[in-house]
Copies of this chain bind each other. A is one copy, B any other.
Amino acid sequence: MPRAGLDTNAVVVAAARLADEDGLAALSLARLASRLGVRSPSLYAHVDGLDDLRRRIGSHGARELGARLQAAAGGLARGDALAAVAEAYRAYALEHPGVYAAIQQPSEADQAGAALVELILAMLRGYGLEGDEAIHGARIVRSALHGFVALESETGFRIPLSLDETFARLIAVLDEGLAGLA
């Protein structure tokens, strides 16, 4: 019988899709294998178990998210850059909730996560932030964006009131706050 023709990348991509559809917690090797038309032990040829798979989804996602943010920020500065990056960040998390959750998992030596921070740091230079102060600023931006997005995608916000408006105000508060830090 013919082979499925899988490789590590195909497995990770399919797993990412599955995680986005049903949630990262519902991702299992058994379900992934059946979706790929393969038995679960076969996945071990491409991936070193479930933990490794989740880590790979995370770093795949971090790379993808980084590219999106990079593209969004292109050519813009200060408030415009911040707004564009924030929108792109939120959009990615909503489109890819499972992958986004996987990105958050602690994994050592993840250069993709570091690249995200670099990108934000570059943006903060537009606010006149350098050195330690820029790092504080980047952490604040990440905290705000991650918090909003995590609460939004886990139904943490229950009151029926426009989340778009809340997010716009959050960006405004960050913009002012970063200007104030400099």
Contacts and interface: CB of A to CB of B under 8 A. Distances in A.
Interface of A: 104-106, 113-114, 117, 132, 135-137, 139-140, 142-148, 150-151, 154-159, 161, 163, 165-166, 169-170, 172-174, 176-178, 180-181
Contacts of A135: 159, 161, 166
Nearest to A146: B147
A132 B168 CA distance: 14
A104 B159 CA distance: 16
Copy total for this chain: 2
B161 A136 contact: yes
A144 B149 CA distance: 11
A140 B170 contact: yes
B161 A132 contact: yes
A83 to B, nearest CB: 15
Contact of A159 (B117, B178, B180): B117
Given A104-B154, A132-B161, A144-B144, A166 B139 contact: yes
